[in-house]
Amino acid sequence: METLELQRRHDLTLAEVEGMRERRGGHFTAQRGLWVPNGIGSRRKLVHELTHEATAHRNIVTNEGLNHILDVELNALAALTTWFLSGWTNSGQTPAATDDYAATTVTEITTSNVDEAIRQTYNANAASSQSLDNVGAVAQYTGDEGFNFEGAMLMAGSSAFGDTTDDAVHILFCLSQLSPVIAMVLDSTIDITYTIASSDV
C-alpha cells in the first residue's frame, strides 16, 4: 500500500520506490585492521587500513524489522533490550526485504571464520539528533582464517551464530552488503558500526 501510494504521489517507478525504502534504515561501516611490525623489536601495532561503508542504498530494513518497530511503538509489544551485530560470508548473495531471522538469503559467519564464540553485542549510544550508533563501542571480530566478509546485519534474540529460532523475540532488523567485500586473513580484525536515524523509519 505504501509503495503504491509513493508511486502515485511522486510519479515514481517501482525501482525508485524500493530505492527510497532502502535508504530508510541507516548504514553500516566496517573497518579492517592488520597487525604490523612497528620497528621496535618484535612489538606490533594495529593499523586500520581499510574502511568500507555499506551505503544507504545497499541497506535493507527487513519487513520483519519494520513490523517490530510498529508493534513496539503502536501495539504495546515489549521492546527487545539486547541486539547483536554479525556478518555473512557467501559470495554473490543479495539481501532482501523478505529476509527474516529464521530464513535469510545469506550465510552467517561461524566460529570457523572468526575467533569469537558468539555474536557481538550492539552497544548503542544514547540517541542524539534523531539518530543513534555504536561509535566508540564497536563490535569487533578477529579472523580465524582467510575469508570474505561480505556484509553485516543487526539482530535480536540469541547470541549464537546460526540460530534460526522463529518467534516474535528473534528479529532480523536489517542487513547490508559491503562493496567491495572485505578480505579477512588470520588475526586480522573487523570493527562494525551501525548508525540509524529515527526519522528514516
pLDDT at 201: 46
Cβ atoms of 149 and 178 closer than 8 Å: yes
Return the sign of the alpha-carbon dihedral for residues 41, 47, 49, 50.
Answer: positive
Q: Is 14 inside a domain boundary? A: no
d(C-alpha 26, C-alpha 22), whole Å: 9
Residue 170 lies in a domain: yes
Q: Tell me what pLDDT residue 110 has.
A: 96
pLDDT along the chain (201 residues), means of 10: 42 49 65 77 69 68 91 90 94 86 94 97 89 90 94 95 94 89 90 79 46
State the pLDDT at residue 13: 52
Does the residue 1 lie in any domain?
A: no
Inside any domain, residue 68: yes
pLDDT confidence of residue 57: 53
Greatest Cα pair distance in the chain: 67
Whole domain around residue 33: which residue ranges? 25-200
Question: Is residue 2, in this structure, part of any structural domain at all?
Answer: no
CA distance 117 to 115: 6
* Dihedral over Cα of 141, 163, 178, 24: its sign: negative
Q: Is residue 36 part of a domain?
A: yes
DSSP of 7-35, one letter per residue?
A: HHHHT--HHHHHHHHHTTS-EEEEEEEEE
- pLDDT at site 109: 96
Q: Count how many domains the chain has.
A: 1
12 occurs within a structural domain: no
Say what the pLDDT of residue 83 is.
97
What is the pLDDT, as a whole number, of residue 4?
43
pLDDT of residue 1: 40
Q: Is 16 part of any domain?
A: no
